[in-house]
A = this chain, B = another copy of it.
């Protein structure tokens, strides 16, 4: 098939670049912190099994513990109560074709720099569309905030009243689902929702509306500043955890040079 051999040739020649959008997963990877009455997400931890030593003479390997939602990760519809009863709502049952899709990037880095609680509204998307054309159906919308360039304290940006990080409002999410039929919404922050999204209507509009409509989330992305506004192909394939609500994953962007 032409397109497949052309793809491999273009990657080999550099005509298509493979950009890694993934945070390094380590003991230092920041995780979501919820109010103390709720169960908490495990940070990444590991135990070395052997390292070319008496525990394994020629091999190095580790066991590790992690949350389904630690580091760069994928959210499946079953993660949220609104998606609880949908078909194919867990990472092991989603159609594999959904793991390879187009992506657009909406750059709100200037707005998020001056306002950490910046909310993406329908009007911002419409302004983006006036310049770039409509968001294509079955596309990822990637929300660039340059949050991934912050050091860890400014990245989590926690204060007494919780995290202050940007996200979309309900109207923006509804527009992308109902009028643009997006496959999912991807962000640089921890959570597709803003840090203060428990105060919005509905609370957590991205989680509630996306997953209720069978759409996906991607969190803790990097290198969105290396992507064009349109034309990227995103490869985002979560681990096949039985009935999994999400998983850490490697997210790759294929970009024409």
Q: What distance in Å separates the Cβ of A4 from its nearest Cβ neighbour in chain B?
A: 5
Contact of A141 with B by CB under 8 A: no
B56 engages A67 (CB within 8 Å): no
Whether A3 pairs with B16 at a CB distance below 8 angstroms is yes
Contact A252–B96 (Cβ < 8 Å): yes
Which of A63, A102, A203, A235 has its CB near the most chain B CB atoms (within 10 A)? A63
Identify the closest chain B residue to A234 (Cβ).
Answer: B8
Expressed in whole angstroms, the minimum distance between the Cβ of A7 and any Cβ of chain B is 5
A66 at the interface (CB under 8 A from B): yes
**Contact call B23/A240, Cβ cutoff below 8 A:** yes
- In the bound complex, residues from chain B placing their C-beta under 8 Å from that of A239 are 25, 248-250
Contact with B along A8-22 (1 / 0, CB 8 A): 101110011111101
Q: Which of A37-45, A114-122, A124-132, A152-160 contacts B (4 or more CB under 8 A)?
A: A37-45
Query: Complex formed: what's the CA distance from A1 to B16 in Å?
Result: 9
Q: Which residues from chain B contact A100 at a C-beta distance below 8 Å?
A: 7-8, 11, 18, 235, 252, 254
Asked if A101 CB lies within 8 Å of chain B CBs, one says: yes
Per-residue B-contact encoding for A215-249, CB less than 8 Å = 1, 0 else? 00000000000000001110101111110111011
Does A144 interact with chain B (Cβ within 8 Å)? Answer: no
Which residue of chain B has its CB nearest to the CB of A233? B4
> Which stretch (A77-85, A104-112, A163-171, A173-181) binds chain B?
A77-85
Contact present for A60 and B78 (CB under 8 Å): yes
Q: How far is the CA of A3 from the CA of B62 in the complex (A)?
A: 39
- Chain B: minimal CB distance from A164 (Å): 21
Taking A58-B204, A245-B60 as contacts, is the C-beta distance between A240 and B22 under 8 angstroms? yes
With beta carbons under 8 angstroms apart, the residue of B55, B80, B231 that contacts A58 is B80
**Which residues of the partner chain B approach A203 to less than 8 Å between Cβ atoms?**
58
A26 contact from B15, B207, B242, Cβ within 8 A = B242
Any chain B CB within 8 A of the CB of A200? no
Which residue in B24, B34, B237 is a CB contact (below 8 Å) of A240? B24
